[in-house]
Amino acid sequence: MKKDIMKILGILTGIFVVTITIIVVGVMILFNQIGNYFGHADEDLIRYAEKTYGIEVEVVDNPGRESSSFGGMIFEEATVRTLDADQVTFEITINVFGHISGDTYEEAKTRNDDES
């Protein structure tokens, strides 16, 4: 009787571990697919700055998805610079889903104005 209970518990534990593994792998694949779908090309960053602030920028650095992260799900900030006389350099934040979620333009512009 005790051996039968141990066998059943072992089988249930194995099923649980396999189910959790399948769920984790599925979520990782889903995040990768979402990130690839939305993307964040240089043109998207330039269009964002133009639409949000009415400024022209050049992309200084756009590292994209960090390949060494857990499943490649972490996105880094892209660095851009305005093409006007001030040449304000600021960061554009890209979230885990590949959406542009913010920037540091106001802070960088204030800091640049204070230095001038």
pLDDT per residue, tens digit, the chain (116 aa), is: 888 899 999 999 999 999 999 999 999 888 777 655 555 678 889 999 999 999 999 999 887 655 444 444 556 789 999 999 899 999 999 876 677 889 999 999 999 888 86
pLDDT at residue 41, as a whole number:
79
**pTM for this model (two decimals):** 0.60
pLDDT at residue 65, as a whole number:
52
What is the pairing mode between strands 89-94 and 78-82? antiparallel
- Angle (CA) 24-37-28 rounded to 5° is 10
pLDDT at residue 83, as a whole number:
95
- Angle (CA) 42-100-83 rounded to 5° is 45
33/93 Cα distance (integer angstroms): 19
pLDDT at residue 38, as a whole number:
55
Domain layout of the chain by residue ranges: 2-115
Q: Which residues contact 105 (CB under 8 A, 6 or more apart)?
A: 49, 52, 53, 88, 90
pLDDT at residue 67, as a whole number:
47
